[in-house]
Amino acid sequence: MPRALVDRDSVLVWAPKTLSQAGGANVVLLESCIERASVAVESWSSRRFLMDTYTERHGGSRAVARGTRLYLRCFPVVGVPTVKESGVTLSVGTDPDLGPAVLLLPEEGVLERLEGTWAAGSANVLVTYQAGWTLDTMPGDVAQVVIELTWAMYREKDREGVSSVASPMGETRYRDRLSDAARHTLRALQRYGRPRTVAA
């Protein structure tokens, strides 16, 4: 399950005892629902959550319009990104006192230009970086929504509607089966999204 944001055991621990009992779960169906729920949550928040290496092209003109900041699609950032502006490699660091051309704010996934402004252009800033969480470090609110959405889908195992998951949390039959806390988190998931500087 390359995009699963929680593991099977996490769902089974949360699920009713009737499902958690040995042999009580349809493992293939459950894992399918986990991945479908994970994809749906990522679609809802317009970002990826799992740790991975990403390459993005950003428009310098869009970044300038927002000041000196360029917003990466994923965060938290691990390590130091490679940043090329119009083909020129820029120095990147987390300590402004060391004089990098670009300051990295890893927890926010932000690159801030310290030397002047970003060069105007479309898709002229190329960034390669590693970001995201592992299953062990996944934010608890994100994991809980995936778990509850998985369970809602699993209970609909006899319906073909489960296959329509572009944004299933917008469908009443799933949303209404989530806890109040999970529904609140669904509304709050947009905080994981970003202002747009990524080139279209």
Domain map of the chain by residue range?
8-48+137-192, 52-131
Distance of CA 10 to the CA centre of its chain: 19
The pLDDT score that the predictor gives to residue 200 is: 38
The pLDDT score that the predictor gives to residue 84 is: 96
Confidence of residue 85 (pLDDT cuts 50, 70, 90): very high
Computed over every residue of the chain, the mean pLDDT equals 80
User: Among all chains, which residue has been given the structure tokens 């083909």?
Assistant: 87
Label the pairing between strands 88-90 and 77-85: antiparallel
The pLDDT score that the predictor gives to residue 24 is: 60
Confidence of residue 193 (pLDDT cuts 50, 70, 90): low
The pLDDT score that the predictor gives to residue 191 is: 65
Give the residue-averaged pLDDT of 68-79.
90
Confidence of residue 160 (pLDDT cuts 50, 70, 90): very low
Q: How many alpha carbons lie under 13 Å from residue 106 in its C-beta half-sphere?
A: 14
Backbone angles phi, psi at 69, to 5 degrees: -100, 140
Q: What is the 3-state secondary structure (H, E, C) of 17-53?
A: HHHHCCCCCCHHHHHHHHHHHHHHHHHHHCCCCECEE
Stretch (H or E) spanning 153: helix 140-155
Poorest-confidence range of 27-31, 32-36, 150-154, 190-194? 190-194
Give me the percent of the chain exceeding a pLDDT of 70. Answer: 70
pLDDT tens per residue, range 37-54: 898 888 878 788 999 999
Which range has highest mean pLDDT (110-119, 166-175, 185-194)?
110-119
The pLDDT score that the predictor gives to residue 12 is: 85
Given 3-state DSSP classes, what are the helix, strand and coil percentages for the chain, each rounded to the nearest 5?
Answer: 40, 20, 40
pLDDT at 136 over 80: yes
